[in-house]
Chain A
């Protein structure tokens, strides 16, 4: 596309983000501040993820973009079209053939492989933010590894509901040091963060923070001995592909109370239906 540098961002911005990414990878789970740029869409639509994608993307990459697991929702379609236009890269919906996957709020069901990069869009990077509004204080809490308050928050769930009621953006501890917000992925996806073969990068555009989990890194979800971490489970299976192991969305089908459960990962569901058919 004429008038723009390859992948939209100018080279100086890319270098600044690249230097920050190297620090993020060297300190897994630590939030590195970066000079976030205005992107041609509003905050909250994945400007952080897009800036990371633009900084790592090359002309031989194959890009996949998902929004809540789906390739065909507004956010995914427009970001995919954006990079097609400003970088001319090949795009795909198949998880296994993508080299870079930008995601909003899901980790694909198909196992990621070595060499793939998963870029998360993050709204609020600070896991302690709802407990402590001051950035200075939360920085200090991370510095001192002062994470007791996070356990108190989870314990309050147990005291009130009898179980940990946090179902998404469930806090994790990376390599036994930093408590990190895995972005609003369902806690169903948390176990996939642990020792994943792919490099995982997180970008928050409004908050101007980025962080990373290198491949093969220990990632634990916070829990208690007597209330161990558990993922969601459903009595139903996917109404389209019959999967009993994937993350399911509940879809209301009429106004008489009828509903169905379908895979949130559209590529996984379509692939399975292809196999079944």
Chain B
């Protein structure tokens, strides 16, 4: 079965982009992306599919983690966006991953000191995503602090927190569960708050 594209490519991608832009500029806020979801069996949900349709075209290279890599996803991506699929994560503009992928160190592009923008954007597929949780984020775009629950997020948040220490180089991440999406750019500071004593441990 062919995956659905955007019904109205011009206005739908504009609408989705504005939501993604708002997510990226206000890290930790949740946004519901409204579009036709890929089939039930698809390894990614509607929000990540929407982000791929909105941001990818023949100028972009996409790297897909092994656990999400299906012929259907590859075919749908090539058909709808024309993007190239990358074998080398260091050459990828976007990488579609899960928190499990990040248990092993993968050499994504983090840009250079002169050109930190030449870096991979992670598109992370999550099993759960809520705005109440143990992960506290602060920094640009956040009035004081926001909290996130990303399910089993030790490896993911550890990776993103380490990432912040290299600022301005680093990875930016769009996190999504079904139609819900949030973002953690490299500028965000991440801490884990333990419920019992409310003290924060810096990652």
Question: Is the CB of A217 closer than 8 A to any CB of chain B?
Answer: yes
Q: Are the CB atoms of A30 and B142 closer together than 8 Å?
A: no
A219 → B minimal CB distance (Å): 10
Q: Which of A104-138 contact B (CB under 8 A)?
A: 115
Evaluate whether A22 and B57 lie within 8 angstroms (CB atoms) in the complex, with A5-B10, A30-B168 already known: no
Q: Are the CB atoms of A175 and B14 closer together than 8 Å?
A: no
Q: Are the CB atoms of B55 and A30 closer together than 8 Å?
A: no
Q: Are the CB atoms of A11 and B25 closer together than 8 Å?
A: no
Q: Which of A127-177 contact B (CB under 8 A)?
A: 139-140, 142-144, 174-175, 177
Question: Is the CB of B182 closer than 8 A to any CB of chain A?
Answer: no
B119 → A minimal CB distance (Å): 8
- In angstroms, Cα B168 to Cα A143, docked, is 8
The residue on B at minimum CB distance from A23 is B117
A260 → B minimal CB distance (Å): 40
Interface centre among A26, A33, A199 (most CB of B within 10 A): A26
Instruction: Give the size of the chain B interface in residues (CB under 8 angstroms).
Output: 41
A214 → B minimal CB distance (Å): 4
Q: Which of A19-60 contact B (CB under 8 A)?
A: 19-28, 30, 32-33, 56-59
A81 → B minimal CB distance (Å): 21
Q: Are the CB atoms of A214 and B140 closer together than 8 Å?
A: yes
B51 → A minimal CB distance (Å): 10
Instruction: Give the size of the chain A interface in residues (CB under 8 angstroms).
Output: 44
The residue on A at minimum CB distance from B10 is A6
A220 → B minimal CB distance (Å): 13
Q: Are the CB atoms of B139 and A56 closer together than 8 Å?
A: no
The residue on B at minimum CB distance from A114 is B26
- In angstroms, Cα B69 to Cα A100, docked, is 39
The residue on A at minimum CB distance from B116 is A27
Interface centre among B59, B115, B140 (most CB of A within 10 A): B140
Q: Are the CB atoms of A11 and B17 closer together than 8 Å?
A: no
Contacts of B55 in A (CB 8 A): 15, 18-19, 22
Instruction: Enumerate 22 A-B pairs (CB-CB under 8 Å) in ascending A order.
Output: A6-B10, A14-B14, A20-B117, A22-B21, A23-B119, A25-B24, A27-B116, A27-B185, A33-B115, A33-B117, A56-B14, A56-B17, A56-B18, A58-B14, A143-B113, A175-B139, A175-B140, A199-B21, A212-B25, A214-B25, A214-B141, A216-B142
4 nearest A-B pairs in the assembled complex, by CB-CB distance: A26-B185, A143-B113, A214-B141, A214-B25
What 13 new A-B contacts, CB under 8 Å, besides A27-B116, A218-B140? A6-B11, A21-B21, A26-B172, A26-B187, A27-B187, A57-B14, A142-B114, A175-B140, A175-B187, A177-B168, A199-B22, A214-B140, A214-B141
